[in-house]
Amino acid sequence: MLRVGLTGSIGMGKSTMAKFFADAGVPVNDSDAVVHQLYAGEAAALVDAVFPGTMKNGAIDRQELSRQLSSDRDGFNKLESIIHPLVRNREQKFIEQEQAKGAEIVLLDIPLLFETGAEKRVDVVVVVSCDPQIQRQRVLARPNMTEEKFNMILSRQTPDAIKRERADYLIDTSGPLEASKQRVAEIVEDLKRRLRSGEFQNA
């Protein structure tokens, strides 16, 4: 079974592209969605133990967590040491389930794919990118987003230019949505063609 890793910096349109892959019939494991589930479930008490006061009504208050992270230099490292193993666990279960169903391709939507070394767990990397100005406009239009917060997030992400260089496939979302959707369809077709040709024998 072919494992495709999807990644892209904040505001590039990665989540929308993941939906397009799902629409094209590719099973998708969304790491962000998994984190949301964990914050409302098994990770809540673990996170609250390290960041007291972040759990409210049994779930993590993301705004309070964000506030604490902004004032704790090692905060992200502490948080990732709790969350990443749980996310990996869920990812593995997803892969096993799809393998049992006979899926030939799965998509692993991993925002920090290069930053966490997750490219070693996939066979192909798809990077979502766009013009930096468009990215900035998209991100700053989000609720509770500030220039400072945006810059902090960017500082923790591999630069877009490096992601582009390391991509097996690139989706540029600077243009119309329909063009990006067409690009996803082309990638899916090409992956199926390469699978049929035996190019991914060890996948």
CATH number of the domain located at residue range(s) 1-26+106-196 in this protein: 3.40.50.300
Q: 66-78 burial, b for 16+ CB within 10 Å, e for fewer? A: eebbeeeeebeee
Domain boundaries, the chain: 1-26+106-196, 28-102
Q: Is 74 helix (H, G, I), strand (E, B) or coil?
A: coil
Tell me what the mean pLDDT of segment 1-13 comes to: 95
Closest CA to 110 of 121, 102, 101, 100: 121
The answer to whether 11 is a known ligand-binding residue is yes
Q: What's residue 4's pLDDT?
A: 97
| Residue 7 in marked binding region | no
Q: Which burial class, exposed, middle or buried, applies to 155 when counting CB atoms under 10 A from its CB (0-12, 13-18, 19+)?
A: exposed
57-108 residue pLDDT tens: 999 998 899 889 888 888 888 998 999 899 999 999 999 999 999 999 999 9
Does the annotation place 15 within a ligand binding site? yes
Report how far residue 184's alpha carbon sits from residue 27's, in angstroms, rounded to the nearest whole number: 14
Does the pLDDT of residue 203 top 70, yes or no?
no
- What are the tens digits of pLDDT across the range 120-168? 999 999 999 999 999 999 999 998 888 988 988 888 889 999 999 999 9
Q: Determine the CATH number of domain 28-102.
A: 3.40.50.300
Answer whether 191's CB lies under 8 Å from 4's CB: yes
Token pair, residue 200, equals 């991914």
Q: Is 16 assigned a ligand-binding role in the annotation?
A: yes
**Is a pLDDT exceeding 60 seen at residue 202?**
no
